[in-house]
A = this chain, B = another copy of it.
Amino acid sequence: MEITNKQQGIKVVGDVLDIVGGKWRGQILAHLCDNPKRFNELKTILSNITSSTLTKELRYLEDIKIVERNIVQDTPIIVEYRLTDHGKSIKDLIKIIIEWGLKHRKIVFKKN
């Protein structure tokens, strides 16, 4: 079946890449695939992200209902971010991305 025959097919590529693309979103999602993480955990793992950027990205992912923010403990406040039930569907996508990347990194990636 041809990809482009489905009229909707192509624009959707752009839409998905808006969600997952950019410098951080894919990485954030990848980290949340395994288990929920707190704000500062993410900040530490993604070693060069700033608070403001991380906040922005998380809010965006919340807005589109892929990630949810859970207040785990009120005082002192502890917040965790996790994939929503719906967001979990993204795991397969992330997995394929990683597999493709690992397989083709030698040929393709300029940097490193």
Asked whether A96 lies within 8 Å of B101 as measured between CB atoms, the reply is no
Hey, which chain B residues are within 8 Å of A45, CB to CB? Answer: 10
Asked whether A110 lies within 8 Å of B63 as measured between CB atoms, the reply is yes
User: Is A77 interfacial (CB-CB < 8 Å)?
Assistant: no
User: Is A58 interfacial (CB-CB < 8 Å)?
Assistant: no
Asked whether A22 lies within 8 Å of B17 as measured between CB atoms, the reply is yes
Copy tally for this chain in the complex stands at 2
Asked whether A97 lies within 8 Å of B16 as measured between CB atoms, the reply is yes
> Measured between alpha carbons, how far is A96 from B92 in the docked complex, in Å?
8
Asked whether A98 lies within 8 Å of B9 as measured between CB atoms, the reply is yes
Which chain B residue shows the least CB distance to A65? B107
Task: Scan residues 1-35 of chain A and give those whose CB is less than 8 A from a CB of chain B.
Answer: 2-6, 8-17, 19-24, 26-27, 29-31, 33-34
